[in-house]
Amino acid sequence: MISGVSLVVWVHEHRETVQEKISEGSAILFRGFEVRGQSEFESVFDHLFGQKLDYVYRTTPRTQVGKGVYTATEYPPRVSIPFHNENSYQRDWPMRLAFFCVKPADEGGETPIADTVRVTARIDRAIRERFQRKKVMYVRNYRPGFDIPWQTVFQTENKQEVEAYCQQHGIDCEWKGSEWLRTQQICHAIAIHPKTRQAIWFNQAHLFHVSSLDERTRRGLLSLYGEEGLPRNAYYGDGAPIEGEALASIREAYKGEASVFQWNPNDLLLLDNMLISHGRNPYKGERKILVSMANPYSAATREPANCFITEPRTAA
């Protein structure tokens, strides 16, 4: 915490150090610096990471407030968002992630983080190996009036553009009606970090799976749409159901590595998106957190994940 010091100036003087720490798996929280709102957040981010990425093939509602700057997921305050790595349900994802606190909630609303390498080590070897072998299938149904529409997900009103995007990214898509789209994609469960070469648990099976919903919502959706028509769900890559015990074990692994801090105004949190996962706690009052992503990485360049972490990394 350095009171009265411009974060823009400080980052320009310590850029290499910051980048090195993030690459090592550190989550860096800047607190107490002078940050003059969104414009200086963007200046810091651009200097560290370069061009910000657009949020395409979305899964959650957000508002774009600048070029490559979005609000954090706009789910109701009462809802918890499980731990995840951004876009780990895709074959392409950002390596760098930043959160900027414009206004903390009156109560709650923390962004808990977890060391994904340690999370990986906590997951039973048999579960890791089964997921690595089978991969994860994500199934999504987009209908008017529930969850986010396909126009928002793909950022277009043109169905042909949606089909082209799906073909380019290995997503099977089918129009079930004039405004009802169903997609299906098989993705990795384990990914190799391009710098550390560690095999990391990197998927959102536990988040997409219907069991992540509260019982009342889950029963209501199943009654309305049936399992095949759920807004989103996850299976093994061969279409087999994922065992409830495995999903519970995965969620416990994240919980066991959770680290929580309270947001302050003008806090800036920087993450390596593969090495650090994040979530959101329920909150009361107004809350505004901005998010930006950078440094795209494609699964097409990944090496096969043929090794596993068996012991947690020793804390520095």
pLDDT at position 239: 97
Q: What angle do CA 206, 218, 213 make, to 5 degrees?
A: 35
Of the candidates 218, 242, 211, 255, which has an alpha carbon nearest to the alpha carbon of residue 83?
A: 255
pLDDT at position 117: 96
Compute the distance between CA of residue 113 and CA of residue 261 in angstroms, rounded to an integer.
9
pLDDT at position 302: 56
pLDDT at position 2: 62
310 Cβ contact list (under 8 Å, min separation 6): 121, 125
In order of their start, the domains of the chain are 7-113+260-294 (3.60.130.10), 120-251 (3.60.130.10)
pLDDT at position 310: 45
pLDDT along the chain (316 residues), means of 10: 83 95 90 95 96 92 95 95 97 96 98 98 98 98 89 95 96 92 97 94 98 94 94 97 98 98 97 97 98 91 50 45
CB atoms within 10 A of CB 315: 6
